[in-house]
Structure 1
Amino acid sequence: MIIASLDGVDAFIDDLLDGEHDYSTLAEVYSQDREVTPSGFPDHQLMVCASKTLGLGLVSYMDANGNFTSVGSPETRTKPTYHFVSNMTQFADHSEIPIALVRQAVKEFFTSGGRRPTCLEWQPETFGA
């Protein structure tokens, strides 16, 4: 899917929330405004997660500076797990945030040329450690 507008971001997140599943979903997002590495792969990645049952999600950002995940409130889940196709990915404790903030972060990612959004707090991510 190519997201060509901010309305497209909303449609993309709505698709994550409105799927025919009852579990938490993950999608990988890349900015076409960023350079690719010599190997041809993007030099960054934004993972966007959404749980329709919880009404929460999270964002995770990776680039040459490291791996980072959103910081949520202490009331959110420990070790939240999201599904990408049939693979499960576990994230840092208490990293879930309201869907409205997920939307804001993804929109900022696109309007900033693929930079890590500044509209939320970040924590280093160790993926399941």
Structure 2
Amino acid sequence: MTFSSVQAYYRDEHSDEPSIVRTSEDVDALIDDLATGPEFENLAVLHSSEREPLPSGFPDHEFMVGADGDRQLGVLSFMDARNFVSLGSSESLGGAVTHFVTANPTEFPRTAEIPLALVRQAVKEFLSSGGQRPTCVQWQEPEIW
């Protein structure tokens, strides 16, 4: 199945040329790469090509996807006019979890952690919906952002 294209930034080399994600298989490869790659490159920033940019030329949205392969958990955030992070189904011990885009840390509330299978499903929905916030995930407005 082919989806609209999404630009993904998660490695140093993507600052000049992003990775392009177009298919369900590309999503699986992206999540696998985040989950098994370098410790300080386990978070990707995604922008859909289907959404109109702001007058400045910058994207009007940002979808962040983090993956922890050892724990088989991930995190999501979606930003446009409002900011949201994923909401896990179980109670957490509190605190934060940190994911990294090219060694730059981003903290998420621990309650944002969801199973990697749901992360995959959400990214596939983001692609197929033309860059809309996925509905397969419950969302919360983070206090720390």
TM-score normalised by length of structure 1: 0.90
Q: Percent identity?
A: 48
- How does 1:42-121 map onto structure 2 within 5 Å? 42-64=59-81, 66-72=82-88, 73-75=90-92, 78-121=95-138
Greater Cα offset, 40-49 or 82-91: 82-91
Structure 1: stretches of 5+ with no match in the other structure: none
Q: Which runs of 4+ in 1 moved over 2 A?
A: 75-78, 125-128
Comparing 4-13 and 75-84, the one that deviates more: 75-84
Q: Which moved more, 1:99-108 or 1:73-82?
A: 73-82
Change in Cα spacing, 1:60 to 1:123, as seen in structure 2 (3 Å) is same
Gaps of 5+ in 2: 1-18
Contact 1:24 1:52 (8 Å CA) reproduced: no
* Distance (Å, rounded) in 1 between the aligned partners of 2:59 and 2:85: 19
Give 2:28's aligned amino acid: D
Q: How far is the alpha carbon of 1:80 from its aligned partner?
A: 1.0
User: How far off is 1:127 after superposition?
Assistant: 3.7
RMSD, matched Cα: 1.6
Q: Please state how far the C-alpha of 1:76 moved relative to its aligned partner.
A: 6.6
Matched, 1:39 2:22: no
Aligned mates of 1:47, 1:125 — CA distance in 2: 14
Would you say the 8 A contact 1:69–1:122 is kept in 2?
yes
For 2:119 and 2:94, how far apart are their aligned partners in 1?
A: 16
1:27 aligns to 2:41 (yes or no) = no
- Contact kept, 8 Å, 1:89 with 1:127, in 2: the verdict is no
Alpha-carbon deviation of 1:126?
Answer: 3.8
Q: Which has the higher strand share?
A: 2
Change (3 A) 1:45 1:84: same
TM superposition shift of 1:92? 2.1
Retained in 1: the 8 A contact 2:41–2:102? no
CA deviation after TM superposition for structure 1 residue 7, in Å = 1.0
Q: Is the 8 A contact 2:98 2:108 kept in 1?
A: yes
Q: Distance in 2 between matches of 1:41 and 1:76?
A: 37
Indicate the residue corresponding to 2:142 in structure 1.
125
Name the count of aligned residue pairs.
126
Aligned pair in 2 of structure 1 residues 101, 24: CA closer, same or farther (>3 Å)?
farther
Deviation at 1:77, TM superposition (A): 5.8
